[in-house]
Amino acid sequence: MSLAIRSRVTVPLKFADGYATTAEVITFDGLADGKEHLALALGDAFGAEVPLVRPHSECLTGDVFGSQRCDCGPQLREAVERIAGAGGFLLYLRQEGRGIGLYAKLDAYALQDLGLDTYEANRALGHADDERDYTAAAQMLSALGVGPVDLLTNNPDKPAQLRAHGVEVRAVVPTQVHASDANVRYLQAKVAHTAHTIDLPLAV
């Protein structure tokens, strides 16, 4: 199946804190992994000279249920507003638990409760530190006709993978730090293991 935009639909968004905006939700045929990834065009996405783009991996516990064990939900909320203001795309990627799946992520949580950090728990379950692949994200940008992008992320693997797939990343823009007592150890592990650019005021 050749790569193509499958559908476009306008969806009004409203978050729990009252912030509201409108997204054009775009689906695709022919993505490399066959998953149902989404692109949300926000603000003047197609008119922006260099759109702001965030590849955001699905996190059911954080994005939907407000889990405090990670910073995914606050990052998603922040990204939507910042992209809507600048014009660009949120790429919502179905890569739960850094690519290991929902059940395995919850198994990793149980191991974290025994003292392992998030990466050690993945390894104990036989997984890599991060199994995400951004091939589909690069394909989505290509299908959308996007040229150079500014990438909203703290994860150095995202621009590295996208550049390897031919995406011109002009700049990497960090997200805010969403640290709390419940997730600071998780954030510290992201800095220590995979060089996330997170300035942690609570780090010791």
Active site members: 130, 132
Annotated ligand binding at 59? The verdict is yes
Annotated ligand binding at 96? The verdict is yes
Q: Greatest CA separation found in the chain?
A: 51
Annotated ligand binding at 190? The verdict is no
Q: For residue 16, what are its two tokens?
A: 């729990």
User: Under DSSP, is residue 29 helix (H, G, I), strand (E, B) or coil?
Assistant: strand
Q: What share of the chain is helix, strand, coil (3-state, %, to 5)?
A: 35, 25, 45
Annotated ligand binding at 70? The verdict is yes
How buried is residue 7: exposed, middle or buried, by Cβ count under 10 Å (0-12/13-18/19+)? exposed
Strand partners, 38: 92
Annotated ligand binding at 57? The verdict is yes
How many Cβ atoms are within 10 Å of 60's Cβ, its own excluded? 14
Annotated ligand binding at 14? The verdict is no
Annotated ligand binding at 165? The verdict is no
Q: Which residues are annotated as a binding site for GTP?
A: 54-58, 75, 96-98, 118, 153, 158
Q: Which residues are annotated as a binding site for Zn(2+)?
A: 59, 70, 72
Q: Can you say which residues are annotated as belonging to the binding site? A: 54-59, 70, 72, 75, 96-98, 118, 153, 158
